[in-house]
Amino acid sequence: MPPALDFAAPVFRFAPTPNGALHLGHAFSAVLNQRLAEAMAGRLLLRIEDLDRTRCKPSYEAAILADLAWLGVRFSASPRRQSEHVADYIAAIARLESYSLVYPCFCSRAENAGRAAGRDPDGAPLYSGRCRVMSEAERRQRLARGDKAVLRLDMGRATACASSGIGWSEYGEGATPHHRFADPAAWGDVVLRGRDLPASYHLAVAVDDGLQGVTDVVRGRDLLAATSVHRLLQDLLGLPAPRYRHHRLVLDRGGGKLSKSRGSASLAALRVQGVTADAIRSALGFERDDGPAFPITLS
């Protein structure tokens, strides 16, 4: 059973994926988590989201730990590595399967794109539901012959099974919360387990936050819509609901979101250029000095 949340003793977490170097966006989120944990006399945990063993590398994790130490971000316990807790995700999927909320999907990405029933909040093709209506006999036959499948959540059944009026307390970057109603149906039948991954991001983050007793999730606005799925999974799995703070994003000079795929300057590269940790904190708005060492836009 997950621990009951004790909001009088807040627990925050920073959860990077070791598939590349940290950039300024990661720095903003990590330092903000640290500042809030300190202000609320809480704890800050580090979670390494390394389920994708083909893209996640020990060398990236080592670099992440070095960057965070250089920034002065300290944690209350040793990191939780998702790759070491696969049994937790298997148990969560088994529970959802016991409610008849999970089905195997054999469609490739190309097949799904060709039959898409619209777009999800991230702009990806919504799943058409083709395998949802497949007969049990055909499913068993395809699984028996070794056809690879992902596991999807039957969103219609799931939302019907969940508590009514699911939502969360959203603080943004302020001190006063407002209630946001969840809209998980906007995501369609989300993947819970990939062909070669033991759990999707959505499932793993919901399970991890529950088992770690996280009371306060602080992350970028780009994950605001995904919170609807996480709240649904928390409800179905009997996991407690954290408070949420979705913060502004750090943008590049062209107004684009920083990302590893766009080749955004890494913290390590800035360090080599002589930029100090104090200068980064100042430029991100956490401390003042004689002025930022480089331009940063928050939006």
Per-residue pLDDT of 48-92, as tens digits, reads 999 999 999 999 999 999 999 999 999 999 999 999 999 999 999
C-alpha closest to that of 184 among 200, 201, 165: 165
191-237 pLDDT, tens digit each: 999 999 999 999 999 999 999 999 999 999 999 999 999 999 999 99
- CB neighbourhood size of 87 (10 A): 9
Q: What local confidence, expressed as pLDDT, does residue 116 receive?
A: 74
Q: What local confidence, expressed as pLDDT, does residue 262 receive?
A: 64
Distance between CA atoms of 37 and 42, rounded to whole angstroms?
A: 5
Are 126 and 116 within 8 A, CB to CB? yes
101-114 pLDDT, tens digit each: 999 999 988 888 76
What is the reported pTM? 0.91
Distance between CA atoms of 231 and 240, rounded to whole angstroms?
A: 9
C-alpha closest to that of 282 among 22, 107, 96, 24: 24
Distance between CA atoms of 296 and 283, rounded to whole angstroms?
A: 7
Distance, first Cα to last Cα, the chain:
38
> Which residue is it, tokens 């992440």?
64
Strands (E) located in 194-239: 216-220
Name the band, by pLDDT with cuts 50, 70 and 90, for residue 292. Answer: very low
